[in-house]
Chain A
């Protein structure tokens, strides 16, 4: 057997798709497993039982950096929004994409380190960014409400949905969406 890729026995580059497409199957020797110290033909390799614990410990240790990391992303998100505000013709697609990505980053970070309230606002803003129309002042109000709420969560050190401040912030944002989102 060769290590090099061979052309399939049949030419499948005929552009056929769907039911008429020919299918070629490539079997491989499991060189990755051999590289990882195993035998390609033996059973599955096992993991050091402590590996998962060690790795999870690394994640838990990283949780201490969350406030710094999320603050950086919130700054980027705010800067991105400040640049976008004046673009009432919706021409700056790449900046809009940035806003979406930063909201997504906030959501990912908050979810990973278990900050459900921040995760909630990150996800909500990410979803709203998909339909954001900068020509509509109401949409500006909704984005601003999200960003203000995120900063309030950050400075207030609010972690989950439970306390009154959290409930109040969620209500402010959901009312903004309810009130201004209806102007579509």
Chain B
């Protein structure tokens, strides 16, 4: 089946107008049905509440509220209409420390600028085709940070399934 973007809505939060226009243009070429834009994290959360977008694409550095803070708000604010919405962070910072920081805040996918159409489309296709489980652990709420099964893992086994050794007890559907 071919991915049909017509019924999807995407929120683009980017303070640089030229970059924002560029992302919108790429989404438009894909036939995304609804594209909502915001210029900062502050207006981004309002727009997200109003639009309940299916996918959020955001920049890191923005004023008055940056992309990381917006991610935290989407994931943890009780007013958030969908705490599990896929969030793609598109940014000029690609250092591993930054990627880890974004991941630990709840970003789903990370794409470094300069981006190509293929890079952005692949990230969008990935969040549609391969949604990750969500994890709640202490202060963290976000997509599962384990992308692969490590056979010789020796760290602490904190997951309920690890402790109970059975099937995963929570099996709940969430609207995307």
Binding site for B on A (CB under 8 A): 1-6, 8-10, 12, 15-33, 35-39, 42, 44-48, 51-52, 54-59, 62, 65-66, 69-70, 72-73, 94, 97-98, 100-101, 104-105, 107-109, 111-112, 114
Task: Check if B106 is an interface residue, CB within 8 A of chain A.
Answer: no
Cα separation A155 to B92 with both chains bound (whole Å): 25
Q: Is the CB of A25 within 8 A of B134?
A: yes
Task: Check if B86 is an interface residue, CB within 8 A of chain A.
Answer: yes
Task: Check if B168 is an interface residue, CB within 8 A of chain A.
Answer: yes
A13 to chain B, nearest CB (A): 9
Cα separation A19 to B162 with both chains bound (whole Å): 13
Q: Is the CB of B160 within 8 A of A23?
A: yes
Q: Is the CB of A55 within 8 A of B3?
A: no
The residues of B that contact A104 with a CB separation of less than 8 Å are: 61, 92
A124 to chain B, nearest CB (A): 13
Cβ-defined partner of A28 (8 Å) among B15, B16, B84, B168: B84
The residues of B that contact A5 with a CB separation of less than 8 Å are: 83, 172, 174
Q: Is the CB of B160 within 8 A of A32?
A: no
Q: Annotate B145-176 by CB proximity to A: 1 below 8 A, 0 otherwise.
A: 00000000000101111000000111111111
The residues of A that contact B61 with a CB separation of less than 8 Å are: 100-101, 104
Q: Is the CB of B125 within 8 A of A45?
A: yes
Q: Is the CB of A36 within 8 A of B8?
A: yes
The total number of A-B Cβ pairs within 8 Å is 214
The residues of B that contact A15 with a CB separation of less than 8 Å are: 138-139
A12-B138, A58-B29 known; A37 and B63 CB under 8 Å?
A: no
List the 10 closest A-B pairs by CB distance, nearest first. A55-B117, A21-B138, A37-B4, A17-B138, A32-B176, A69-B18, A44-B129, A56-B117, A111-B114, A45-B3
17 contacts between A and B (CB under 8 A): A1-B171, A9-B169, A9-B170, A17-B138, A23-B135, A26-B135, A28-B84, A28-B174, A30-B176, A35-B54, A38-B129, A46-B1, A52-B117, A105-B18, A109-B16, A111-B114, A112-B113
Question: Which residues 61-88 of B have a CB within 8 angstroms of A?
Answer: 61-63, 83-84, 86
The residues of A that contact B115 with a CB separation of less than 8 Å are: 112
A26-B174, A38-B1, A54-B29 known; A32 and B128 CB under 8 Å?
A: yes
The residues of B that contact A70 with a CB separation of less than 8 Å are: 18
Task: Check if B19 is an interface residue, CB within 8 A of chain A.
Answer: yes
Cα separation A126 to B8 with both chains bound (whole Å): 36
Cα separation A47 to B139 with both chains bound (whole Å): 37
Cα separation A25 to B141 with both chains bound (whole Å): 10
